[in-house]
Amino acid sequence: MTPFAFKEWSLICEALGSGMQSIILRRGGIAEGRGGFRFEHEEFFLFPTLFHEQQEKVTEVPQLQERSKAEGEVRIDFFAKMEWSRSLESFSLVEKLRAHHIWKAQVVQERFHYKQAGQINLAFLRVYRLLTPWLFPDSKAYGGCKSWVQLPGLQSLPIMELVLSDEEHSKRNQQVLGLLNTE
């Protein structure tokens, strides 16, 4: 199995992994190429990055878990399955999602208007916690302003548990879809 990972701020990975949020809003990075960003994979690991000043750009800082790792090592704690995605071209719709993520309004607005495009990508995720973290050596291949990275091969998926109950997950999904269907 060739696993892929979605690079995201470590605080957002923690918010997803703690159940604080179930969505990702992404415009894309410089290294996304001419085609721009798209959700390329339906199943992926969450690759935490310390890129950019994160705490100043979120409304709430998730309670950070003690996550030990050695220097030059990557630690993966969460896996996600994308249930659905959508391109949002109305900022009023994006604003309705405010209670479903921890990014500050200014960050979301900057992403939406990046290069004056007036668009942002939304994905609704089912998140899983790895019972044993996946540790492997860091590599230059994981660097840069890109959203997707290919990870070392795996024989099988690690043992995982759901972050949210089926009931809570379904409730959130209906809430988000309900907000998007108001325009």
Rounded-to-integer distance, Cα 67 and Cα 58, Å: 20
Please give the structure tokens belonging to residue 77.
């704690």
- What pLDDT is stored for residue 30 in this prediction? 59
Q: What is the mean pLDDT of the chain?
A: 88
Flag whether pLDDT at 52 surpasses 90: no
Query: What are residue 104's phi and psi, to 5 degrees?
Result: -70, 155
Rounded-to-integer distance, Cα 54 and Cα 112, Å: 18
- Per-residue pLDDT tens digits for 12-44: 999 999 999 999 998 866 566 566 678 889 999
Listed by start position, the domains of the chain span 4-180
Flag whether pLDDT at 117 surpasses 80: no
Across residues 101-105, what is the average pLDDT? 93
- What pLDDT is stored for residue 144 in this prediction? 82
Flag whether pLDDT at 118 surpasses 70: yes
- What pLDDT is stored for residue 17 in this prediction? 96
Flag whether pLDDT at 48 surpasses 80: yes
The secondary structure of residue 58, as a DSSP letter, is: B
Q: What angle do CA 27, 33, 96 make, to 5 degrees?
A: 10
- What pLDDT is stored for residue 38 in this prediction? 80
Across residues 50-75, what is the average pLDDT? 77
- What pLDDT is stored for residue 157 in this prediction? 85
